[in-house]
């Protein structure tokens, strides 16, 4: 299956924009009904659009903001992109460097999202005395 690269790139930009304005419903609408999110990859998978919407609502509640780092990479039906998340945890503000992949279904919806990041990609979040 091959999707137009531009439609996958547009979806990534729509995702970042919807996240920016705190619209979890618009983010969830980019996903297939039975999509799976692994964020990070080794965490328990989040299954289905409703659970995914709730996941983004929790993320947005931290004040998280995304900033793309460089161009979106695309293959036949997968987009990969590097970005940073700026957010506030109970221990303080910080940044997480992440790479996401979006695997699309034939309708152009995200079927699987995988987020690559771990503790060594977290910077800041120190206790503010």
The interface mask with its own copies, positions 42-61, x = CB under 8 A, is x-------------------
Beta strand 31-38 with 110-116 is parallel
Sequence-distant (6+) residues with CB within 8 A of 43 are none
Omega prior to 40 cis, within 30 of 0: yes
Does residue number 5 form part of the binding site for its own copies (CB under 8 A)? yes
Closest to 30 measured CA to CA, from 99, 116, 86, 113: 113
Tell me whether residue 15 is one of the annotated catalytic residues: yes
Q: Please provide residue 95's backbone torsions phi and psi, each rounded to the nearest 5 degrees.
A: -135, 140
Binding residue (CB under 8 A) for its own copies from 35, 46, 74, 87 = 74
Rounded to the nearest whole angstrom, what is the least distance from the CB of residue 15 to its own copies in the complex?
16
Q: What is the rounded CA–CA span in Å between residue 109 and residue 98?
A: 21
Indicate the SS3 state at residue 64. coil
- Candidates 21, 90, 120, 129: give the one binding its own copies (CB under 8 A): 120
Q: Among residues 55 and 116, whose Cβ is nearest to its own copies?
A: 116
Closest to its own copies by CB, 38 or 65: 38
Q: Which residues of the chain form contacts with its own copies (CB under 8 A)?
A: 2, 5-6, 9, 40-42, 69-71, 73-82, 97-99, 101, 116-121
Residues annotated catalytic, as ranges: 15, 39
């Amino acid at each position: 299956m091959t999707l137009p690269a531009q439609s996958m790139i547009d979806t990534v930009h729509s995702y970042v924009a919807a996240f920016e304005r705190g619209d979890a419903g618009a983010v969830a609408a980019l996903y297939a009904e039975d999509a799976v999110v692994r964020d990070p990859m080794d965490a328990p998978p989040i299954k289905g659009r409703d659970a995914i919407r709730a996941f983004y609502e929790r993320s947005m509640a931290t004040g998280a903001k995304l900033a793309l780092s460089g161009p979106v990479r695309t293959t036949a039906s997968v987009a990969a992109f590097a970005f940073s998340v700026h957010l506030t945890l109970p221990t303080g503000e910080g940044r997480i460097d992440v790479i996401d992949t979006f695997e699309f279904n034939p309708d152009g919806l995200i079927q699987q999202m995988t987020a690559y990041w771990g503790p060594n990609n977290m910077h800041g979040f120190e206790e503010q005395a």
